[in-house]
Structure 1
């Protein structure tokens, strides 16, 4: 049993994380950042939940770059093969659920 106060979490570096759970190879991690990530494709599916702040999520569909603004409470689901990158607007906290060891 554990309670995590997500809005109070701050990592020492951009995209630093606190491991919440590993359920049969599916990890749940709380991330803090104020810097963009990198373009990537996960090894599997990814659920990206904005807990605090705003994130511009850029993604490529059929070679075309798209973007969407994610606000607190919004969820982005990256299916297998979805190339994407998160650009926070200031400090953000996000919950990421993905396969263990994924990029």
Structure 2
């Protein structure tokens, strides 16, 4: 699923008030962290993940891995916070048409 600019803008607005539900610590991206992200996506569809990496390149690799492994869409990255979206079976969030 590829999000249009209009859909991303809508999701950014919805994500604005959200707090990060998953925090990556010193251990980085582990299987347990990926499992937590999967659970959060299934439950909320739109989540924030805080990637606590000082190195910009490492942070980018972690973000790419999260998106690849969860098959979610990247909405935006602000500093150390990643906003991702993946529709669930129930489709809780109604997206505008493309």
| TM, length-normalised to structure 2 | 0.32
TM-score of the pair, normalised by structure 1: 0.31
